[in-house]
Amino acid sequence: MPKLIDPIERKQSIAQATWNIILQQGIEGVSARNIAKEASLSLGALRYYFSSQEELMLYAEALVFERLTDKTNEIFQEDQPPLEKIIGVLLAFLPVNDESATEAEVRLIFKLHRRQSRMTYSEVQDVALQAVKNIISNLILLNLLKKGLDVSLETDRLIHLLDGMVLDAMVRPERYNKEQQRIMIVRHLNAICKEDVDC
């Protein structure tokens, strides 16, 4: 009797195969043939799960967002001091290890791809932007953010830092280990937090 395959698991493994292709060859490497090969499926089986490449790409993008959302929710629930959680959430978007590198890089490539394929970009669906907004409002709530800062500007500055770090780590991976990325995040938080707060 053949092994029963959970269709959700199968869809997720196809999405992960798509991430691999994107990381190895860029969006331009995405084709039904390449993905089927990477996922060890026939073209027919691939089409059974995703009727079009567009549908697959949307699913693969949504799965990155879901993984990152789950990860940040988990970190928020850990038994740690608030600032440690905030550092942890920011690190979740960075390539600190192989797994997070995949998610971080694929998120960035999808962000850019939305612009190039003229798909709608929605702030609400931008998981990194939402996390950064959340962090800045938490810093305010905890009374940690320096007085007089422009909140909207600081939100943007932090998301730029995060996106720029991912991009730079992609071209200069030898420069960034987890410790280096943590130092950068802590440096930035110290710069926007009150002077007596030390991350």
Per CB under 8 A, which region of 19-27, 52-60, 63-71, 75-83 contacts a copy of itself? 19-27
Per CB under 8 A, which region of 46-54, 70-78, 137-145, 154-162 contacts a copy of itself? 154-162
Helix (H, G, I), strand (E, B) or coil at 145: strand
Per CB under 8 A, which region of 4-12, 47-55, 68-76, 162-170 contacts a copy of itself? 162-170
Name the token pair of 117.
């394929």
102, 93 contact by CB (below 8 A):
no
172 touching a copy of itself, by CB under 8 A: yes
Could you tell me the CA-to-CA distances from 59 to 11, 16, 136 in Å, in that order? 9, 10, 29
Residues in the chain: 199
CB atoms under 10 Å from CB of 145, counted, come to 20
167 touching a copy of itself, by CB under 8 A: yes
25 touching a copy of itself, by CB under 8 A: yes
**CA–CA distance, 131 with 85 (Å, rounded to integer):** 12
The correct pick among 41, 63, 188, 193 for binding a copy of itself (CB under 8 A) is 188
Q: Site residues (CB under 8 A) for a copy of itself? A: 23-28, 108-109, 111-117, 121, 123, 150, 153, 156-157, 159-165, 167-168, 170-172, 175, 183-184, 187-188, 191
